[in-house]
Amino acid sequence: MAKHRNRASDAQRTAVQQALDEAFAAGRLDHFEHFERIRTATKAKYIDELRPLVADLRGGDDDLGLDGDDDDNAPTGSAYTGWDARRREDLSHAKRGWTIGIAVAVAVLGIAGGAIAASVSDGSSNAATDEVGPGLLHTENGVTRLLAETESEFPAQEIDSILIYGEYATLSQQDPADPHKRITHEFRGGWEERRFDPIQADADLTVSSIDAADVMAAITAATGVLELDPDKTVISHVQVSADALGDPEFRVSASEGKYGDLGTATFGPAGQVREVTLPD
C-alpha cells in the first residue's frame, strides 16, 4: 500500500528555488538547467517532486524542510515532465547564447538598480545567507521598471498571470498559435520566452491594468494582515492574476528567513483583503 504523499508548501518550493539559484550562481547549473528546475519547482504539488531537483546538488535536503513520507510509487529519474520535446531541443541548442545574453542583461540591471540595491544591503548578494530584506523587484523602483518593460514587451496583449519574485519574475500567456498551449516567459533584466506547456492558459489580464503602487501596497499590507515581524519576514513572491471581473488580484506569499512558511494573503484591486491562508 502506498504511503501518503505530503503536499509541498510555498516555503518548501521557495527553499528549493533558492538552492537552485545558489547552484546557478556557483556555476553548478547552466541557465537552461536552472530555468527548467525552477519552473518544475514552481509547479510542484508534492515534496517528492521537489527532492529530485536538488538531489545532485546537495549532500542532503534536511535543511530545505523536505523531510516527510514519500509515496512508494514516487517518480524516479528525470523530474522534468510535460515539456514539448521539440521545443526543449531548440532551447538546448540556444542555451549558450541565452547564458551570455542573460549575463549581460543582469549586469545592466545591476548597474541601473545599484542605488536601489544599496539601500537594501551592502551591495553583496544575500542568496546564500539568512539576511532579511526585499529583493530588487520587491521595491517600488524595481516593480515600476518591471511593469514598464512588461507593458513594452507585451503591448495590448492579455496574459494569464505574472509572478514577481525578489530577483526575477515569470509571466504566462496563451500561445497565439495554439489555444491549448501556454507560453512561459522569464524576466532577469529583460523578458525571454522560455517554455511551452500543453496547458491552456487564461487570457484575461492586461499588463496596463497592473499598477506598481498596488503591488507594493499588497506587499506592505501582507505583513500586517498575517501579523508578521517585518524584521524576520521575507516576501517570497507576489502572484498577479485576474479576478472574476478581470481586475488584478494580488496573492502575496511570505516566509521567515529562507524556509519558514508564514502563509499567504490575497488582495483585490482596491487593497481589500479577500483571503488569508495560514500554515498548519
Domain ranges of the chain: 1-81, 86-280
Beta bridge partners of 264: 253, 277
pLDDT in tens, 17-34: 888 888 877 778 876 677
CB 129, CB 257: distance < 8 Å? no
pLDDT in tens, 196-243: 888 777 778 999 999 999 999 999 999 899 988 877 777 888 999 999
Sign of the CA dihedral 254, 249, 153, 113?
negative
Q: What is the pTM of this model?
A: 0.56
Once rounded to an integer, what is the mean pLDDT over residues 111-128? 39
Name residues whose C-beta falls within 8 Å of residue 88's C-beta, 6 or more positions apart in sequence: none
Name the residue type at position 145. R
Beta bridge partners of 195: 184
